Structure 1
Amino acid sequence: MSRTSFQGEIPEEQIDVCPVTATQNVIAGKWKIIILWHLRETRRFGELQRLVPGVSKGILTAQLRELEKDQMVHRKVYQEVPPKVEYSLTDAGRTFMPILESMGEWGKKYDLVKKSRDEIE
């Protein structure tokens, strides 16, 4: 049995051999990690677009849809004019926050080490 993703089929044996594959399948995409980080609070689409400079409207929409399909993000549509849509983390998305926080801490340490090495060279 294979798992379908926007990247194609991932053989089940690959997930068995390397469990990180399942995680990578969910967060793969240039903007998904950043989107998840900003969804620690409920956000509207325009707000997300401002918080993630450089992402196009189409790509942001696609990444949000993929995260929604993978049950990481909840999309709530309010029946009003003009339409109002809010995005928030699901329970699964919230369980990913400690991982993102760890990645942030690692990134800060990596940056410090890299800057130190650059100064030496």
Structure 2
Amino acid sequence: MATKTAAERRTEARRAYDAYVQECPTRHLLDRISDKWVSLLLTALAGGPRRYGDLSRIVAGVSQKMLTQTLRTMERDGLVSRAVTVSVPVRVDYELTELGRSLLPVMQAIKSWAETHIEDVLAARERYDDRPN
């Protein structure tokens, strides 16, 4: 049985989608879905379709540029769908796709965990920062 080169092992691992392999495309997806705007927009869309302006109000602090960019990448990744209704002004609604809805429970759990444990994290940071070097 022949041994495999490092390049062959990396290619094989990439095909198996092992996120610990640097070239694995799942790393890009993990990077994308761990973005704070993606997680907030996913959970904001949990209740159903929302207009762009509604999302802008719900997700406080997101700039127009970042909101547009994030929604576009989420649409490209198949997490949201965009529906344009011709009217004056034009109406644009965003909704989670089936793929986006499958990610929703994970994101809701992370959001809930963060809201529940923020005091613990802030206290840990303070203890860490107060340690002598």
State the match for 1:39 in structure 2: 45
Amino acid of the structure 2 residue aligned with 1:103:
I
Q: Which runs of 5+ in 2 are unaligned?
A: 1-12, 128-133
TM-score computed with the length of structure 2 as normaliser: 0.68
TM-score computed with the length of structure 1 as normaliser: 0.74
State the match for 1:29 in structure 2: 35
Q: CA deviation at 1:104?
A: 2.5
Paired residues in the alignment total: 111
Distance 2:126 2:69 in 1: 40
Q: CA deviation at 1:57?
A: 0.7
Q: Deviations along 1:56-86, whole A, 9 cap, x unmatched?
A: 1111000000000000000000122210000
State the match for 2:111 in structure 1: 104
How has the CA–CA distance of structure 1 residues 14 and 53 changed in structure 2, closer, same or farther, with 3 Å as cutoff?
farther
State the match for 2:58 in structure 1: 51
State the match for 1:86 in structure 2: 93
How has the CA–CA distance of structure 1 residues 112 and 25 changed in structure 2, closer, same or farther, with 3 Å as cutoff?
closer
More strand by share: 1
Percent identity reads 32
Give the root-mean-square deviation of aligned CA atoms.
2.9
